[in-house]
């Protein structure tokens, strides 16, 4: 069973640029959630995708957008990068079912905006 993978591992961008981060979900999981973890803080929920549709969104501006593909992999796009976007971006996959489901996290992408 393959776990959650993310690419790239690290990324350096300039303020105002755009970035795309990628996530492959764990085998059998149809839901992907994205989180932003600033240095020294807990992860903050950005949004979730379920069967290629956005299924909930946290308190992030529209310049944070996403996609989910038929194979359940996902992209996070951030436009007009700001210095405060520098963070670890985590992807988590899960399969909603009866009862509670846990999320399985990838290793993250470290984004630095200069």
Q: Under the rule (CB under 8 A), what is the footprint of other proteins? A: 4, 31, 33, 35, 40-45, 48, 50, 55-56, 90, 92, 99-100, 102-108
Q: Judged by CB, which is closer to other proteins: 16, or 52?
A: 52
Length of the chain: 114
The pair phi, psi for residue 90, each rounded to 5°, is -110, 140
d(CA 104, CA 5): 10
Closer CB to other proteins, residue 42 or residue 70?
42
Q: Report CA-CA distances (Å) from 95 to 31, 41, 45, 103, 114.
A: 6, 26, 17, 8, 37
Least Å distance between CB 78 and other proteins?
Answer: 20
Q: Which is nearer to other proteins, 36 or 81 (CB)?
A: 36
Tell me how far, at minimum, the Cβ of 15 lies from other proteins, in Å.
Answer: 25
């Amino acid at each position: 069973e393959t776990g959650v993978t993310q690419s790239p591992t690290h990324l350096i961008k300039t303020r105002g640029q755009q970035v795309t981060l990628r996530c492959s979900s764990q085998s059998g999981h149809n839901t992907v959630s994205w989180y932003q973890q600033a240095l020294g803080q807990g992860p903050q929920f950005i949004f979730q995708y379920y069967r290629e549709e956005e299924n909930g969104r946290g308190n992030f501006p529209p310049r944070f957008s996403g996609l989910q593909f038929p194979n359940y992999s996902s992209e996070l796009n951030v436009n007009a990068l700001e210095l405060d976007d520098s963070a670890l971006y985590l992807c988590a996959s899960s399969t909603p079912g009866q009862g509670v489901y846990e999320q399985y996290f990838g290793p993250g992408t470290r984004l630095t905006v200069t």
